[in-house]
Amino acid sequence: MTTTTCRVCDGKVQEFADLGEQPTANGFLLPHEAENEFFFRLAVGACELCGMVQLLEEVPQDLRYHAGYRYHASGSASHRAHFEGNARRFLATELTGTDPFIVEIGCNDGVMLSTVADAGVRHLGVEPSSNVAAVAAAKGVRVLSEFFDEDTAAAIRAEHGPADVVFGANTICHIAHIGSVLRGIDALLTPAGVFVFEEPYLGTIIEGLAFDQIYDEHVFYFSVESVSAMAAQFGFELVDAEHVPLHGGEIRYTIARQGARTPAPAVAALLDGERARGLSRPETFQRFGRTVERVREDLVALLHKIRAEGKTVVGYGAPGKSSTVTNYCGITTDLVPFVCDSTPGKQGHLVPGSHLPVRPPEAFSDPYPDYALLFAWNHAEEIMAKEQGFREAGGQWIRYVPEVRVG
């Protein structure tokens, strides 16, 4: 087990789980690109000073975000509804002044800002992956295709003036230079402005055993405690925190300048809950590491049993998470011959590392397999409702978070 220096406070980060040699989780590749694929050691640890859980090894941001970024946020109906709801809430609360302005870090394909643009409110998306940035622009969203940091923030302030809201979703935990981001937000926000961000929750991952949420893009794994400490370090204060149902369970954090807003009772309640459950205790992390190894054993044993019985299984959904689980468990095409996914840019490509072929959704029912391994488990409700025919044909779903189960 190794250590590294905390990206937030320079404390010592103590490793607690090693998921082995892994590719970039969204680095879906064409068959001919497979031979010189990038791999790194995927391991996580916790800072002994501020509690921030983070990757031991960082993958350069331009290897992860570029003109071929595979994730399109609008690919799910439930996500579109969620982000439209976020936009409408901002329009009804923080963006009611004379000339309001909102900046979104990681606006992707405009899944949230398109509603703000339609309302005619001043906004700016900051999105370095130029392919998805172009989709946002085509929806009428004003986009700056750059990586957000304190220099970008200064340029935005100079051109547009201060922002009432800076928003980020499933993006802030992706940015290794988080100190620069927070200094930039400090420079960009109005005195009463807020920075709102919603990210995968450490509780979901550690207590909910969502180990496949650990991958190259997710540099940090936030908790209320570690975000509160991080906010204080950069002159902010955590003034609200609330559960969000996306990606298996996230938390939306609202931070403001110290003293600018009264913290909601939810902040203390969530903090007390984390401490009572021992979320950031070393023994909690050790137990997580041991339990994930058992889930791997159970899943691989099940897949071998299915193959020995001459039954068929295919993967359903090729989220970034599928890279972690297939590579950590050594799931190759002899156990799972292919995966179906609705994202056109992933079809015809291979899952990073394990090289499972990604096929269009039509392949799922042509013919139905005996089992479907649900990699996109955070979309289970939407997917199972859509695929009633699979169950009616006698098919069974395999899930592995929080434990392996068939049904």
Contacted entry of ligand DWN, ligand SAH, Zn ion, none for residue 319, CB cut-off 5 to 8 Å set by kind? ligand DWN
E-assigned strand segments in 268-365: 313-316, 339-340, 358-359
Tell me the residue number closest to ligand DWN, measured at CB.
319
Rounded least distance, CB 345 to ligand SAH, Å = 13
Contact in structure between 122 and 101 (CB atoms under 8 Å): yes
Q: What is the C-alpha separation between 176 and 52, in angstroms, rounded?
A: 12
Rounded least distance, CB 80 to ligand SAH, Å = 10
**Cβ closest to Zn ion, residue 9 vs residue 404:** 9
Rounded least distance, CB 122 to ligand DWN, Å = 25
Interface with ligand DWN includes 217 (CB under 6 A)?
yes
Q: What is the C-alpha separation between 162 and 240, in angstroms, rounded?
A: 22
Contacted entry of ligand SAH, Zn ion, ligand DWN, none for residue 156, CB cut-off 5 to 8 Å set by kind? none
384-391 own/partner pairs: CB under 8 Å, 24+ apart? 387/316, 389/365, 390/364, 390/365
Interface contacts to ligand SAH, rule CB under 6 A:
61, 65, 69, 71, 73, 105-106, 108, 111, 126-129, 132, 147-148, 169-171, 174-175
Contact in structure between 211 and 261 (CB atoms under 8 Å): no
Cα 64 to the center of its chain, rounded Å: 13
Contacted entry of Zn ion, ligand SAH, ligand DWN, none for residue 47, CB cut-off 5 to 8 Å set by kind? Zn ion
Q: What is the DSSP letter of 350?
A: B
Interface with ligand DWN includes 170 (CB under 6 A)?
yes
| Other CB atoms within 10 A of residue 281 CB | 12
Contacted entry of ligand DWN, Zn ion, ligand SAH, none for residue 65, CB cut-off 5 to 8 Å set by kind? ligand SAH
Tell me the H-state helices in 332-395: 380-386, 388-392
Contacted entry of Zn ion, ligand DWN, ligand SAH, none for residue 219, CB cut-off 5 to 8 Å set by kind? none
Where does this chain bind ligand DWN (CB under 6 A)?
Answer: 26, 71, 75-76, 170, 217, 317-321, 341-343, 346, 376, 378-379, 382-383, 386
